[in-house]
Amino acid sequence: MRENARVTSWLDGAAPDHGGLFLPGGPNGHGADLLLSPADAQLGFKGLQVGLVWESYSRQGVTNSESSWSIGGWGAGNARYLGVGVDGPESLAPLRRATGTLRNKALAWNPYNRFIRDRPTVPLWALSFASTVIDNQRHTMVSLCTLLSERPLLRPLLADTERVTRLAADLSRHFLPPPNTVVVKPTTAVVVAALHALGYQHNLFDRPLPADQFDDRADIIARVIQRVAANPYGAVDVSAEQVGELVDRFYLKVEPWPFAALDV
């Protein structure tokens, strides 16, 4: 892999390299490089390199099998992770040891770790403080890796330098968190439940893909109203205008993940 770039945030360094999408580790050499290629995801640090197959990627971050891996958080902040890491199989142990500097060990320490299965977690972007920007970049890359793991036909596109150049630029500018799906009001909960029961829910962590097509808005509203009216727990007083606002907020007007370069 190429030498680490001097970048101020993880996805700023995204670029086509070695036949895939390359993300230099950091900051300042404290994390491993990540290369997403058509064949696998490769981690590298100071001459060490480990490949992780796409078929073993875990969508939910649950890495119980011997070969499973996932993009997740790294470091133990008071309320949030400090950075981004890869949790995975025992083959990552040499990389974890190599990246386990005194500084990184201190930042990753958590008094509850002794109660959790100790799997090798390798830092990719090892900040010393919590960052909303890095949180959002992590969520975006979790979604990208999930997409690539679940749609094998997309992986060869990672070898297309022009396409990956566009993807890297989009990632560095438009990284996103999962949308806020917290529902407090009972009426909203009933409408959103009806929306989801009808199949109007985005599969990739509640955000659409850029090329997704949607049913006509008026049709969706009418179907949701009909579903709400048939609520077995009693009628809910909600107007077509209110339903339309919720259909927009939770489905039609949710900003898509920035993966248009992959024609999705």
* Residue 160 and residue 193 in one domain: no
CA distance to 109, 211, 232, 238, 248, per residue, from 124 (Å): 16, 30, 49, 47, 36
* Residue 129 and residue 231 in one domain: no
* Residue 166 and residue 231 in one domain: no
Which domain, by its residues, includes 232?
Answer: 186-262
Residues sharing a CB contact under 8 Å with residue 140, sequence separation 6 or more, in sequence order: 11, 171, 175, 176, 257, 258
Of 114, 144, 174, the one marking the end of a domain is 174
The whole-number pLDDT of residue 113 equals 53
Q: Per the structure, how many domains does the chain have?
A: 2
Q: What is the SS3 assignment for 198?
A: coil
Q: Is the pLDDT of residue 95 over 50?
A: yes
The whole-number pLDDT of residue 182 equals 83
Residue 65, strand partner residues: none
How far apart are the C-alpha atoms of 97 and 74, rounded to whole Å?
Answer: 15
* Residue 90 and residue 206 in one domain: no
* Residue 205 and residue 155 in one domain: no
User: Model confidence at 107, in pLDDT bands (50, 70, 90)?
Assistant: confident
> How many angstroms from the chain centroid is the CA of residue 62?
14
* Residue 144 and residue 240 in one domain: no
Tokens representing 28 are: 């300042």
List pLDDT tens digits, range 210-235.
999 999 999 999 999 999 998 877 67
4 within some domain: no
| Amino acid present at 152 | P
pTM of the model: 0.92
- Classify 50 in phi/psi space as left (phi over 0), alpha (psi -120 to 50) or beta: beta
The whole-number pLDDT of residue 3 equals 44
List pLDDT tens digits, range 113-169.
544 545 678 999 999 999 999 999 999 999 999 999 999 999 999 999 999 999 999
Which residue reads 């909960």 in tokens? 189
